[in-house]
Structure 1
Amino acid sequence: MREVRLGTLTLGRGPVKVAVPLVGSDRTALRAELDALPDSAADLVEWRIDCLMPFPDTEMLLALARELKQSLGSLPLLITFRSLPEGGRLPLDAAAYREFQLRLAKEQLPDLLDVELFSGLPDPAAHIAALQREHIPVIASRHFFDGTPAPQVMRETFQRMQDCNADILKLAVMTETAEDLLSLLQFSAAQRQTADRPFVLIGMGPRGVLSRISCAEFGSCLSFGALRESSAPGQLPARDLKRILSLLPEYPVSQTAEPRK
């Protein structure tokens, strides 16, 4: 299993890490979230920049990112723009998306960048490679809000992410029934046996809560917990999530490989 190192934090080895999303709409709201962050037991912070209203131009975005990076200190920062079709708050303009992600990467502001692989980028593999040339690892993501897709669709989604050479693979699906949850967990268990890099599989909604706390058993390297406001359906409060994860046994990954820096 490859490892992804974000400063002193390693994904793909050791306990499941807890990511806490910041969803403030402006600098004042972000500052309030930062003040509450020490009580969250976060291992990683996700900044949901699609929550900024109005969305800033690139220079203002970079300025906000510098402030946030300084405030977080050694706590790793994942920067995410979640598009409307995948549960975000703004439409995605592919050209602007590529531009601000590359600028963020060139200035070394994120420790990790989320790239939506299925939201209209003309050449996702080339974009991911450009970010990686700046030594920024990439988490490729896809979200299904209309249900849990068939296992074959989930396999094809992960394969596409691997073909684009993403460092971490992330798939979130809406789990509406017990059968949906079982299908997701079975896929996760199978992925755990063959994965060559870290992955994240999430069941959204009330039925999916079990997927968020059983990461160690089923292989996900990361789980997302809410600070004050959840960024996706079914998120538990971050401190509660961290406590539950600490009570569960840690299972070793099935394979080892050279770490990816």
Structure 2
Amino acid sequence: MQTEITIKNITIGNGRPVICLPVVSHTKKEIINEIKQYVKLGAQMIEWRVDYFDEVLSDRAVCEVLEAIKKDVIKTIMLFTFRSYKQGGSMNLDEEKIMHLNEIAAGSDVIDIIDLEYFEATNPKKAISHLQQYGVKVIASHHDFEKTPENQIIQMILRDMKQGGADIVKFAAYPKDEFDVLRLLYQNALLKKEFPHLPIVTMTMGKVGSVSRVCGETFGSCITFGAGKGQSAPGQIGFEQLKTVLEIIHESYGE
């Protein structure tokens, strides 16, 4: 049974959402400096969006970045993500190359969580199990940049990823109006009630959907993605603003 996850004394899956800052820089120097900057800001989680890296096809370059940040992130959760064009990323690679990158990250002793595009994988359950053998956690993710699907489709997506053995399930959708935002929040809450120990991450993107990034403690979404130097998705809120709002909401629960 899935349970709340604790990595580096940070709990994911219960209470206040963990803020994750994406790194979308292109060069080794920029990436390393940005990660160091976010650590100093106090970010609990940092996502390296490796699809933005100019040298993503160089194993050596990827390893050099990981080695360079190793001492800086000993108290910070590191998420490693290759996001494909179809899922809102900056480039495409074949599945074998993506898995190779994930294996490098998983075996680095630097990365704590790997993002796997669940429905883009030929055998996602096998891929998840394989990566978990390295000792990392796996987020099964799916993104819809065109719409917010019908309720039964949302449930199917989240449940399929859960059945695939992922440690965390993530779904992001693009709303056409405020009612789409409410629907996804409701579906998140329903699944969280049924599986209270399953770490779930959901969000609606864009301006209309930005409210979904601050109410995770209420509806059961355990990670929220903020904006640091750059955004990795539309509607992300700046780190300090997001931190303040989440703190206000969290304190109200203690009253």
Mapped to 2, the partners of 1:218 and 1:153 lie a distance apart of: 19
Is 1:51 aligned to residue 47 of structure 2?
A: no
What residue in structure 2 maps to residue 61 of structure 1?
62
* Consecutive unaligned residues in structure 2, runs of 5 or more: none
Kindly report which structure 2 residues correspond to 1:190-229, keeping only aligned pairs within 5 A, or say none. Answer: 190-195=190-195, 196-229=197-230
Q: What displacement does 1:193 show?
A: 0.7
SS of the aligned residue for 2:75 comes to: coil
Does the 8 A contact of 1:217 with 1:251 survive in 2? no
8 Å CA contact 1:69, 1:77 repeated in 2: no
**1:31 to partner: Cα distance:** 3.5
Structure 2 CA distance for aligned equivalents of residues 21 and 190 of structure 1: 28
Q: How far is 1:249 from its partner?
A: 3.3
Q: Which residue of 2 aligns with 1:255?
A: none
Which sits farther off after the overlay, 139-148 or 189-198? Answer: 189-198
Structure-2 change in CA distance of 1:41 and 1:241 (3 Å): farther
Q: Could you say which residue in structure 1 is the equivalent of 2:93?
A: 92
The answer to whether the 8 A contact 1:172-1:203 is kept is yes
Q: Who is 1:248 aligned against?
A: 249
Cα distance in 1 for partners of 2:66, 2:232 equals 19
* Contact 1:173–1:202, Cα closer than 8 Å, also in 2: yes
The amino acid that maps onto 1:193 is: K
Aligned residue pairs, count: 251
Question: Paired residue for 2:183?
Answer: 183
Q: 2:154 matched to which residue of 1?
A: 154
Distance 1:142 1:251 in 2: 32
1:139-178 per-position Cα deviation (integer Å, ceiling 9, x unaligned): 1000000010111111111111011100000000001201
Distance in 1, Cα, partners of 2:40 & 2:175: 29
Distance change >3 Å, CA 214–CA 55, structure 1 → 2: same
State the alpha-carbon separation in 2 of the partners of residues 79 and 20 from structure 1.
Answer: 12
- Find the aligned partners of 2:139 and 2:224 in 1 and give their Cα distance: 13
Q: Which consecutive aligned stretches of 4+ in structure 1 deviate over 2 angstroms post-superposition?
A: 38-41, 68-73, 106-109, 249-252
Correspondence for 2:141: 141
The offset of 1:27, in angstroms, is 1.5
Pairing of 1:3-42 with structure 2 (within 5 A)? 3-38=4-39, 40-42=41-43
- Aligned equivalents of 2:39, 2:117: Cα separation in 1: 29
**Contact 2:46 2:78 survives alignment (8 Å):** yes
Unaligned runs of 5+ in 1: 253-261
Q: Does the Cα contact within 8 Å between 1:132 and 1:138 map onto a contact in 2? A: yes
Tell me, in whole angstroms, the C-alpha distance in 1 between the residues paired with 2:168 and 2:252. 19
Moved more, 162-171 or 4-13: 4-13
C-alpha spacing 1:250/1:2, structure 2 compared with 1 (3 Å): farther
Deviation for aligned residue 1:68 = 2.2
Deviation at 1:138, TM superposition (A): 0.4
Deviation of 1:228 (Å): 1.5
More displaced 10-residue stretch of structure 1: 23-32 or 233-242: 23-32
Distance 2:105 2:54 in 1: 19
State the Cα distance separating 1:64 from its structure 2 match: 1.2
Contact 2:200/2:222 (8 A) holds in 1: yes
- After superposition, the Cα gap between the structure-2 partners of 1:27 and 1:165, relative to the gap in structure 1 and judged at 3 Å, is same
How far is 1:76 from its partner? 1.2
1:84-133 CA-partner distances (Å, limit 9, x unpaired): 001100113101111121222123231111000112x2211111101111
Q: TM-score, normalised by structure 2?
A: 0.93
> How far apart are residue 4 of structure 1 and its match?
1.3
Superposed displacement of residue 32, structure 1:
3.6
Provide the C-alpha distance between the structure 1 equivalents of 2:76 and 2:178, rounded to a whole number of angstroms: 36
Seen in structure 2, the aligned counterparts of structure 1 residues 100 and 35 have a Cα distance that, compared at 3 Å, is closer
Q: Which residue of 1 aligns with 2:232?
A: 231
Aligned residue type for 2:160: R
Cα distance change, pair 175–40 in 1 and its aligned pair in 2 (3 A): farther
Partner AA of 1:66 in structure 2: E
Give the root-mean-square deviation of aligned CA atoms. Answer: 1.7
How far does residue 232 in structure 1 lie from its aligned partner after superposition?
0.3
- Code of the residue aligned with 1:160 in structure 2: it is D
Moved more, 64-73 or 218-227: 64-73
